[in-house]
C-alpha cells in the first residue's frame, strides 16, 4: 500500500494531495511536520519520498529522462518557489511570473499530456491562493491554467484537506492595498477528511525509546553467549564461480554502469554508480555472500573518434590514455572491483556479435534506408556526435546530432537546422544510407512480462525512479531502434552488406558486462548463463537515472531476444542527480570537484566516500556543499562517531591496562542499550539489503549517538573513582568497546580505511570482522571483544575541517579562480 503523509497546516503539500486524490488508490494520512519541510511524505514499498515535486513526478509517471522536465522542476524549486515565499508586493513577483509564463509556453509543446498535467498542478499549487488580476503585465496563460485547475474536482478536494492555517500570508502592495489577494477559501468539513496518526517524528522517537522485554532478553542472551561460528563462503583466489545450491550461499552479481572512457568522472558520476556499487559489494562480502563486482570503461562510439581527432591520437591511443586515468581515480577513492576491464577487447567483439547473430537469426533485426548527413569535404557520413547545428525544437545553436542540451530533446541529425561538420565546419548534404534496426516492438511483450515480474516481486529493490522511467517507456510503447553507425571505431557488424559499419555504442556497451566478466574468468557463462545446479544469481545494476531506459528495457530486450537463458537484472538501483553548490558540474568551466582533482583538496578519500554516501540522491536530486561537508565531518564524524569510539578505548587503555574488563553483571541500562543498538542494527541491515545506502550510513551514526548518550549517562570516569563501582565502570566501558568494534564492521562498506583502523585499535580478530554471524543471529550483537581481550593503541580517527579550509576549497573549485 502506497501512503501519503500530509500536513494540513502546510500548503506546500497541496500538489501532492491533488495527484494522490487523482490516483484513487493512495491512502492519505495526516501528520504534523516541521514548517520548513515540504509538508508531505510518500511511503512506498521501496522507501520514503520527501520532495513534493518528486512525489508528483512519481505518482503521475513523469518522464524524468526528459532534460526539459528536470530543468523546469529544478528551476521551480530553486528559483520560483523561494521568490514567491519572500515576496511582499505584487511588483516583487511580476517579473518571475512573466518568466514562468514564458517557460511554460515554450516547453508545453515538448511535454506529454501526463507531464504537462503534473507541471500545471505544481504551478497551480504555487499560485492558487493568489489573484493575478492586479499584475501590471499580461499573465493570461497563467490565469487560464489556474482557473482550469481550480475547477478540477481533485484540486477542490485537496484544498478542502488543508486547514485554515495553511492560508496565512497576505501581500500588501506598495500603496498598502491587498493586491495579491487570497482566493476564496474552501471550508474544512466537520470531521477532518484526513485520518489521524501520530506525528512521524514522535513515532521515530518512540521506536528508539521503547524496548520490549523480549528484545532485552534476546539482546542479553546473544551478548552473553559464546561467539557464534557461521560458515561463510570463501571463493577461490584465482577465479570466482557461483556457489552451488547445496552450499546455501547467495550469489550476488553487481555491475556499475560503464563510465565513458573520455569523460573524467565528477562526484555525481561516482556516487551515482561506481561508489554505490562498491559500497554495496563490500556490504555483501561482509554479510558472507558470494560476490562478483564488475565494471570497466565504455570505449567505442563517436565521442572517442572526436576526442582522438582533437588530441591528435588514434582512438586506441586515446582509450589507453583515459583508461589509466579512470583506474587511478578509482584507486584513490578506494573503489575496487573484482575486475575493472574495458570494451575494446576481442572478447567483447566476439560476445557482442554472438548476441547480434542470435537476434538476427530469430527475426528481431530489420534493415532500412535512412537519410543521413554526409560531408562531401571529409568524404564520410556524419554520425550524431560529428555534426552540430540549431535545435529544431528550441532553436539553440549548439545542439548535437543526437540531443540538444538546452531543451533535452532527442533529435535525429537530419532534423538539425543549419547543420555543420564538427571536423571541417562545412555544411553537409543529405544522402541515403542502409542501417540495421532492433525490432523492439516485437520484443515489447517479453520485456513487459520481465518488468512486471521484477518490479512486483516481494523482494523488489528497484528504486522508484527506475520503476517510474521503466513504466514510462512501456506506457509510450517501444519503437524500432537503429543499432548501427557509419564509423570506423567500434564492434564491426558481422554481415557482408554492412561490413563498413559498426554497432551503435548503446547496443554494444551493455554487452560489456559479460565481456569484462569473460576477460576475468573463463567460467563467465556460469554467471551469465548459469546451470541448474547453481544457486540463483541475483543481479544488481547501479546507475544514474539517465541510464535506466537502456538497462530496464533495451538490454533485457536484447538478451530475451536470443531465446537463451541469460541472467537478467533483478534489481536496478538508480539515483537522481548530484549538483555542485546548486549548479551543474562542468569540466570545461571548472565548476565542481572531479575525480582527478579531489585529492588536491587535502581531504582523505574515505572522508569523501562518507559525505557522498551521506548526501546520496536516493529519492531526489541533492547538492554537494562545502559548508555542509565540513559540518558533517565535524559533527557526525569527529564529534559523534570518532568521539564515541575513542572514549571507551582510551578509558580501557588508561584504567584497565588495555584489557577488556568483565561484563558479567549487566544491568538493565546496559541491556536496554544493547536492545536499542540491535533495533538500529536491524534497520541498518534492511537498508543495506535494499541498497538504501544513505540510510545505512545514518544508521551507523545513530548507533554511535546512542553510545555517546549511554557514556554520558553512566559516567564510567566517575564510577572508577570509588572501589565499590570500579566493576561497574568496567562493564560500561567493556560494552562500549564492543559497540565500537561493531561500528568498525558497519562502517566498512563506506570507509574501509577507517574501518581497518578501528579493527586495529580494537585488535578485532579477522574472523570477527564480518556481519555474517550477526545476520545469522537475527541482527543481534554478539560479544566481539570478550573479557580479557587485549585491545590496541587508540588514537583519534578524524580531524576538523576549519572555516578557512571551506573558504579555500570553495574558491579552488568555483570555476572562476580555477
The pLDDT of 260-269, averaged and rounded, is: 93
Q: State which H helix or E strand residue 268 sits in.
A: helix 267-269
pLDDT of residue 587 exceeding 80: no
% of the chain residues with pLDDT over 70: 89
Cβ atoms 277, 256 nearer than 8 A: yes
Task: Point out the least confidently predicted range of 389-403, 457-471, 669-683, 786-800.
Answer: 389-403
What is residue 818's predicted lDDT score, i.e. its pLDDT?
A: 41
What is residue 210's predicted lDDT score, i.e. its pLDDT?
A: 67
What is residue 196's predicted lDDT score, i.e. its pLDDT?
A: 31
Selected residue with higher pLDDT from 180 and 614? 614
Cβ atoms 443, 413 nearer than 8 A: no
Selected residue with higher pLDDT from 22 and 332? 332
Is the pTM higher than 0.85? The answer reads no
What is residue 45's predicted lDDT score, i.e. its pLDDT?
A: 64
pLDDT of residue 309 exceeding 90: no
What is residue 142's predicted lDDT score, i.e. its pLDDT?
A: 87
What is residue 268's predicted lDDT score, i.e. its pLDDT?
A: 94
The pLDDT of 753-766, averaged and rounded, is: 97
The pLDDT of 713-720, averaged and rounded, is: 95
Burial of residue 191, with CB atoms counted within 10 A of its CB: 0-12 exposed, 13-18 middle, 19 or more buried? exposed
Query: Residue 665 forms beta bridges with which residues?
Result: none
Task: Point out the least confidently predicted range of 79-93, 141-155, 335-349, 613-627.
Answer: 79-93
Domain boundaries, the chain: 3-178+191-201, 214-232+625-818, 245-363+439-575, 365-437
pLDDT of residue 621 exceeding 80: yes
What is residue 722's predicted lDDT score, i.e. its pLDDT?
A: 95
Task: Please count the other Cβ atoms lying within 10 Å of the Cβ belonging to residue 708.
Answer: 17
Task: Please count the other Cβ atoms lying within 10 Å of the Cβ belonging to residue 320.
Answer: 15
Residue (of 614, 744, 733, 726) closest to 673 by Cα position: 733
One fold for 3-178+191-201 and 365-437: no
Convert the pLDDT of each residue in 77-122 to its tens digit.
878 887 787 766 666 788 888 888 888 888 887 778 888 899 999 9
pLDDT of residue 340 exceeding 50: yes
214-232+625-818 to CATH, choices 3.40.1110.10, 3.40.50.2030, 1.10.274.10, 1.10.730.10: 1.10.730.10
Cβ atoms 776, 230 nearer than 8 A: yes
What is residue 136's predicted lDDT score, i.e. its pLDDT?
A: 56
What is residue 211's predicted lDDT score, i.e. its pLDDT?
A: 77
Cβ atoms 667, 586 nearer than 8 A: no
Task: Please count the other Cβ atoms lying within 10 Å of the Cβ belonging to residue 469.
Answer: 26
Cell 559533527 appears where? 635
Distance CA 266, CA 459 (A): 32
Q: State which H helix or E strand residue 706 sits in.
A: helix 693-714
What is residue 135's predicted lDDT score, i.e. its pLDDT?
A: 61
Residue (of 788, 674, 687) closest to 732 by Cα position: 674
What is residue 569's predicted lDDT score, i.e. its pLDDT?
A: 96
Cα–chain-centroid distance for residue 730? 43
Query: Sorting pLDDT into bands at 50, 70 and 90, what band is 236?
Result: very low
Cell 513515532 appears where? 203
What is residue 169's predicted lDDT score, i.e. its pLDDT?
A: 36
| Architecture of the domain made up of 3-178+191-201 | Up-down Bundle (1.20)
Question: Which string of DSSP letters, residue by residue, matches 592-653?
Answer: S-BTTTGGGG---HHHHHHHHHHT--SSS-EEE-HHHHHHHIIIIIIIIIIHHHHHHHHHHH
What is residue 585's predicted lDDT score, i.e. its pLDDT?
A: 87
Distance CA 457, CA 168 (A): 45
Convert the pLDDT of each residue in 634-653 to its tens digit.
999 999 999 999 999 999 99
**Of the ranges 1-5, 14-18, 364-368, the best mean pLDDT one:** 364-368
365-437 to CATH, choices 2.70.70.10, 2.170.220.10, 1.10.540.10, 2.40.110.10: 2.170.220.10
The pLDDT of 754-776, averaged and rounded, is: 95
Task: Point out the least confidently predicted range of 203-207, 358-362, 459-463, 548-552.
Answer: 203-207
Query: Residue 298 forms beta bridges with which residues?
Result: 260
Cβ atoms 351, 511 nearer than 8 A: yes
pLDDT of residue 137 exceeding 80: no
Cell 577513492 appears where? 333
Task: Point out the least confidently predicted range of 62-71, 159-168, 612-621.
Answer: 159-168
CATH topology of domain 245-363+439-575: Rossmann fold (3.40.50)
Residue (of 221, 204, 288) closest to 699 by Cα position: 204
What is residue 44's predicted lDDT score, i.e. its pLDDT?
A: 72
The pLDDT of 460-476, averaged and rounded, is: 93
Amino acid at each position: 500500500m502506497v501512503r501519503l503523509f500530509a500536513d494540513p497546516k502546510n500548503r506546500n503539500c497541496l500538489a501532492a494531495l491533488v495527484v494522490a486524490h487523482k490516483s484513487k488508490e493512495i491512502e492519505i494520512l495526516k501528520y504534523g511536520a516541521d514548517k520548513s519541510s515540504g509538508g508531505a511524505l510518500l511511503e512506498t514499498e521501496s522507501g520514503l519520498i520527501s520532495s513534493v515535486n518528486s512525489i508528483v513526478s512519481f505518482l503521475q509517471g513523469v518522464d524524468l529522462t526528459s532534460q526539459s522536465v528536470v530543468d523546469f522542476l529544478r528551476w521551480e524549486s530553486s528559483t520560483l518557489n523561494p521568490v514567491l515565499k519572500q515576496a511582499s508586493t505584487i511588483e516583487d513577483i511580476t517579473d518571475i511570473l512573466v518568466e514562468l509564463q514564458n517557460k511554460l509556453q515554450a516547453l508545453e509543446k515538448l511535454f506529454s499530456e501526463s507531464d504537462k498535467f503534473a507541471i500545471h498542478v505544481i504551478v497551480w499549487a504555487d499560485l492558487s491562493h493568489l489573484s493575478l488580476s492586479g499584475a501590471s503585465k499580461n499573465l493570461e496563460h497563467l490565469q487560464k491554467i489556474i482557473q482550469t485547475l481550480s475547477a478540477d474536482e481533485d484540486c477542490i478536494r485537496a484544498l478542502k484537506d488543508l486547514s485554515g492555517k495553511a492560508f496565512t500570508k497576505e501581500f500588501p502592495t506598495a500603496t498598502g492595498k491587498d493586491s495579491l489577494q487570497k482566493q476564496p477559501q474552501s471550508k474544512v468539513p466537520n470531521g477532518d477528511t484526513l485520518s489521524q496518526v501520530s506525528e512521524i517524528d514522535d513515532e521515530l522517537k518512540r521506536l528508539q525509546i521503547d524496548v520490549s522485554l523480549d528484545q532485552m532478553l534476546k539482546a542479553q542472551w546473544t551478548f552473553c553467549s559464546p561467539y557464534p561460528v557461521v560458515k561463510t563462503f570463501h571463493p577461490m583466489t584465482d577465479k570466482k564461480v557461483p556457489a552451488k545450491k547445496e552450499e546455501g550461499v547467495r550469489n550476488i552479481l553487481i555491475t556499475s554502469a560503464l563510465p565513458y572512457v573520455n569523460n573524467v568522472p565528477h562526484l555525481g558520476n561516482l556516487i551515482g554508480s561506481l561508489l554505490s556499487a562498491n559500497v554495496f559489494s563490500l556490504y555483501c562480502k561482509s554479510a558472507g555472500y558470494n560476490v562478483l563486482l564488475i565494471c570497466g570503461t565504455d570505449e567505442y562510439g563517436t565521442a572517442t573518434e572526436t576526442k582522438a581527432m582533437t588530441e591528435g591520437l588514434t582512438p586506441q591511443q586515446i582509450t589507453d590514455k583515459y583508461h589509466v586515468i579512470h583506474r587511478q581515480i578509482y584507486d584513490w577513492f578506494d573503489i575496487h572491483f573484482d575486475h575493472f576491464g574495458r570494451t575494446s577487447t576481442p572478447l567483447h567483439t566476439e560476445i557482442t556479435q554472438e548476441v547480434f547473430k542470435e537476434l538476427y537469426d530469430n527475426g528481431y533485426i530489420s534493415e532500412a534506408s535512412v537519410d543521413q548527413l554526409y560531408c562531401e569535404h571529409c568524404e564520410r557520413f556524419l554520425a550524431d556526435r560529428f555534426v552540430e547545428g540549431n535545435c529544431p525544437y528550441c532553436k539553440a545553436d549548439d545542439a548535437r546530432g543526437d540531443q540538444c542540451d538546452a531543451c533535452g530533446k532527442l533529435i535525429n541529425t537530419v532534423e538539425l537546422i543549419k547543420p555543420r561538420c564538427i571536423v571541417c565546419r562545412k555544411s553537409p548534404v543529405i544522402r541515403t544510407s542502409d542501417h540495421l534496426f532492433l525490432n523492439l516492438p516485437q520484443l515489447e511483450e517479453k520485456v513487459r512480462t520481465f518488468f512486471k515480474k521484477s518490479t512486483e516481486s516481494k523482494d523488489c529493490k528497484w528504486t522508484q525512479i527506475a520503476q517510474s522511467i521503466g513504466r514510462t517507456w512501456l506506457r509510450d510503447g517501444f519503437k524500432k531502434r537503429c543499432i548501427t553507425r557509419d564509423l570506423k571505431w567500434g564492434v564491426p557488424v558481422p554481415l557482408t552488406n554492412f561490413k563498413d559499419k559498426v554497432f551503435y555504442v548503446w547496443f554494444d556497451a551493455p554487452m560489456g558486462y559479460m565481456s569484462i566478466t569473460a576477460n576475468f574468468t573463463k567460467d563467465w557463462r556460469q554467471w551469465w548463463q548459469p546451470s541448474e545446479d547453481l544457486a540463483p544469481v541475483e543481479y544488481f545494476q547501479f546507475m544514474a537515472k539517465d541510464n535506466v531506459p537502456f538497462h530496464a528495457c533495451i538490454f533485457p530486450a536484447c538478451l530475451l531476444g536470443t531465446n537463451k537463458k541469460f541472467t537478467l537484472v533483478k534489481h536496478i538501483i538508480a539515483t537522481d542527480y548530484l549538483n555542485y553548490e546548486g549548479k551543474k558540474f562542468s569540466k570545461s568551466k571548472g565548476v565542481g570537484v572531479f575525480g582527478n582533482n579531489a585529492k588536491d583538496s587535502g581531504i582523505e578519500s574515505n572522508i569523501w566516500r562518507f559525505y557522498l554516501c551521506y548526501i546520496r540522491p536516493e529519492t531526489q536530486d541533492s547538492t554537494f556543499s562545502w559548508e555542509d561537508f565540513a559540518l558533517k565531518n565535524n559533527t557526525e564524524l569527529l564529534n559523534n562517531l570518532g568521539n564515541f569510539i575513542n572514549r571507551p578505548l582510551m578509558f580501557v587503555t588508561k584504567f584497565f591496562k588495555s584489557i577488556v574488563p568483565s561484563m558479567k553483571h549487566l544491568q538493565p541500562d546496559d541491556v536496554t542499550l544493547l536492545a536499542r543498538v540491535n533495533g538500529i542494527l536491524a534497520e541498518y541491515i534492511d537498508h543495506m539489503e535494499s541498497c538504501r545506502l544513505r540510510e545505512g550510513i545514518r544508521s551507523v551514526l545513530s548507533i554511535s549517538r546512542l553510545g555517546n548518550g549511554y557514556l554520558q549517562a553512566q559516567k564510567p570516569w566517575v564510577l572508577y573513582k570509588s572501589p565499590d563501582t570500579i566493576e561497574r565502570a568496567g562493564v560500561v566501558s567493556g560494552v562500549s568497546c564492543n559497540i565500537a568494534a561493531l561500528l568498525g564492521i558497519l562502517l566498512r562498506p563506506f570507509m574501509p580505511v577507517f574501518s581497518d583502523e578501528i579493527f586495529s585499535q580494537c585488535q578485532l580478530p579477522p574472523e570477527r570482522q564480518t556481519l555474517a554471524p550477526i545476520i545469522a543471529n537475527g541482527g543481534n550483537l554478539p560479544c566481539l571483544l570478550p573479557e580479557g581481550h587485549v585491545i590496541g593503541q587508540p588514537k583519534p580517527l578524524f580531524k576538523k575541517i576549519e572555516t578557512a579550509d571551506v573558504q579555500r576549497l570553495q574558491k579552488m573549485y568555483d570555476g572562476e579562480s580555477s
